[in-house]
Amino acid sequence: MKSLQAAVHNLRHRKAGLVMMTAVMAVAVSVLQFGRMELPPAGGHLPRGANAHAGGPKLIAVAELPEMDGQMCEWSPASYTATQITATTQSRTQTALSDSASAAKRRPVRVIRDSYPAFSSVAVDAKNNEVVVTDENLFQILVYNRDAATPPPTSFSEPKRILGGSNTKIEFQCGLYIDPDSGDIYAVNNDTVDTLVIFSREQRGNVAPAAELRTPHGTFGVDVSEERKEMFLSLQHSNAIVVFDKNARNRDVPLRLLQGDKTGLADPHGIAVDTKRGVLYATNHGSFREFNRTTGDITQTGMYQGTFSTASTWPAERRIPGTGKTFPSSITAHDIVAQGNTPPLRVLSGTKTQLNWPTGLSVDSETGELYVANDMGDSILVFAPDATGDVAPLRVLKGALTGLRNPTGITLDRKNGELWVANFGNHTATAYKLGAAGNTPPLRTIRSGPADEPALMIGNPGAIAYDAKREQILVPN
């Protein structure tokens, strides 16, 4: 779930490669002649049924560069051992002789995969002294003792409880909430399973959720107002917030919907509710497109259950073509009962805020201070309760000692005076004193992988491109 820039994998720096390292592009296309494309009629459209040719260019000839199948001297990196070179040659011989049936069973010569959990969101069960994290890499929810810590020589800490497997409907769970009374775990999925899953404290392993709620596609954040018995969900894909009864289940529909071009919601991610002050906050990455219920194209309707509902409080999901815009990252503050296409009370945005893909969000119920997991800034930003416009944070937690790396989840533990962060970029959940600022090391760190093992941050890789010039694989996530 990381940016493209974070997921470029350079073949030269990977071991176990049977991939040939070459300095020349494999196929260069020589275009000997091509002309000018004729333009369509004004408006760019032809009548339906016209089936017309554009009368455009035709490729005349293609010339490939010589391939390196032994006819030329193959270049190998100096770091290649004789064994590696031999292995490469043998592999080619073997595969060339195989038939198509065995080809289907051929194993990959190289796999780039993170074998350790990647934490994306975090919540604390103060009553039971536990910390809960979601893992978007291996599709799990992990529960640790709150005071657990992974000492440096240890590869990782064993969780005391794991939920995961096809029965759980856990995949890309990106938002967490723990019921303070029951300890029930609420977790939302961002992209692939349009279901909020709820597990009791007794559940573990590959079990069906104790309860479920169908959610709109692209749900990201979840928070609950226990006083109002309402559950708030941010919807990344449809630029909206929906509010459910806290006890909503199955195919119940939202109580309220906040959506539209006036709301300031643009690719919303984290969500936090301050019931005491009657304010609802959302972090926005800035991408925007408009929706309505009558025209345009419907969005993907969910790969597992289908999500479309005709309820007026279900988000409009028909995209309006050509309405795309890109805004700076922001935090929008809304009235807790806002609905419809209502403008925010306040907007935080601008260079002084340091917001850079703000993702996880939590509010201090006592002070009203707003805590932001600032994904691409590798920082935690803390804003005053009434902050608005382009203002600097009250405090910034950032630096090499903090252990922060692509923080995406954040939660406050007021009972123990701690701040918890899920770092998607380094296999850790880190705990700090609530008022920590500057380059302050964490009080404790729970690691899910060895400290020297890089987190690949490959999450839901929907595409791939090979940069032949640099011998790099580009992976958007």
According to CB under 8 A, which residues from 237 to 266 bind another protein?
237
Q: Can you read off the two tokens belonging to residue 24?
A: 């020349």
Q: Report yes or no: 2 and 460 within 8 Å, Cβ to Cβ.
A: no
Q: How far apart are the C-alpha atoms of 46 and 61, rounded to whole Å?
A: 30
Residue from the set 19, 126, 208, 437 that interacts with another protein by CB under 8 A? 19
Q: Report yes or no: 134 and 189 within 8 Å, Cβ to Cβ.
A: no
Q: How far apart are the C-alpha atoms of 286 and 48, rounded to whole Å?
A: 37
The strand pair at 325-326 and 318-319 is best described as unpaired
15 binds another protein (CB under 8 A): no
The footprint of another protein on residues 265-284 (CB under 8 A) is 267
Q: CA-CA distances (angstroms) from residue 321 to 265, 316, 384, 477?
A: 18, 14, 38, 24
326 binds another protein (CB under 8 A): yes
Question: Which amino acid is present at 345?
Answer: L
Q: Report yes or no: 264 and 249 within 8 Å, Cβ to Cβ.
A: no
Q: Report yes or no: 366 and 385 within 8 Å, Cβ to Cβ.
A: no
Q: Which stretch binds another protein (CB under 8 A): 15-23, 255-263, 395-403, 413-421?
A: 15-23
Residue 452: alpha-carbon gap to chain centroid: 23
Q: Report yes or no: 120 and 191 within 8 Å, Cβ to Cβ.
A: no
Q: Which stretch binds another protein (CB under 8 A): 40-48, 125-133, 151-159, 307-315?
A: 40-48
Residue from the set 173, 236, 332, 445 that interacts with another protein by CB under 8 A? 236
Ramachandran bin of 4, using left for φ above 0, alpha for ψ from -120 to 50, beta for the remaining angles: alpha
Task: Kindly give, in sequence order, each residue whose CB lies less than 8 Å from that of residue 35, ignoring residues fewer than 6 positions away.
Answer: 56, 57
Residue from the set 146, 201, 289, 447 that interacts with another protein by CB under 8 A? 289
The footprint of another protein on residues 200-229 (CB under 8 A) is 218
| Pattern 79-118, another protein, x by CB under 8 A | ------------xx--xx-x-x--xxxxxxxxxxxx----
CB of 278 to another protein, least distance (A): 29
CB of 297 to another protein, least distance (A): 5
49 binds another protein (CB under 8 A): yes
Q: Which stretch binds another protein (CB under 8 A): 19-27, 208-216, 383-391, 442-450?
A: 19-27
| Strand-by-strand arrangement of the 268-274 sheet | 268-274, 279-284, 330-335, 346-348
Residue 70: alpha-carbon gap to chain centroid: 44
Identity of the residue, 224 or 457, whose beta carbon is nearer to another protein in the bound complex = 457
CB of 133 to another protein, least distance (A): 16
Q: How far apart are the C-alpha atoms of 413 and 401, rounded to whole Å?
A: 21
Report the chain's C-alpha Rg in angstroms.
26
459 binds another protein (CB under 8 A): yes
Identity of the residue, 201 or 285, whose beta carbon is nearer to another protein in the bound complex = 285
Q: What are phi and psi of 55, to 5 degrees?
A: 65, 25
Residue from the set 46, 72, 311, 401 that interacts with another protein by CB under 8 A? 46
Residue from the set 67, 147, 158, 335 that interacts with another protein by CB under 8 A? 67
The footprint of another protein on residues 118-157 (CB under 8 A) is 136-138
In angstroms, how far is the first alpha carbon of the chain from the final one?
Answer: 5
CB of 235 to another protein, least distance (A): 11
The footprint of another protein on residues 152-191 (CB under 8 A) is 166, 191
Q: Please count the residues of this chain forming the interface with another protein, following the rule CB under 8 A.
A: 108
Burial profile 459-477: b = 16 or more Cβ within 10 angstroms, e = fewer: beeeeeeeeeeebbbebeb
Q: Can you read off the two tokens belonging to residue 406?
A: 């692509």
CB of 102 to another protein, least distance (A): 11
Q: Report yes or no: 214 and 254 within 8 Å, Cβ to Cβ.
A: no
Q: Can you read off the two tokens belonging to residue 45?
A: 């459209």
477 binds another protein (CB under 8 A): yes
Residue from the set 296, 393, 403, 409 that interacts with another protein by CB under 8 A? 296
Identity of the residue, 38 or 227, whose beta carbon is nearer to another protein in the bound complex = 38
Q: Which stretch binds another protein (CB under 8 A): 18-26, 148-156, 176-184, 335-343?
A: 18-26
447 binds another protein (CB under 8 A): no
Q: Which stretch binds another protein (CB under 8 A): 47-55, 147-155, 204-212, 425-433?
A: 47-55
The footprint of another protein on residues 331-360 (CB under 8 A) is 357
The footprint of another protein on residues 366-405 (CB under 8 A) is 376
CB of 19 to another protein, least distance (A): 5
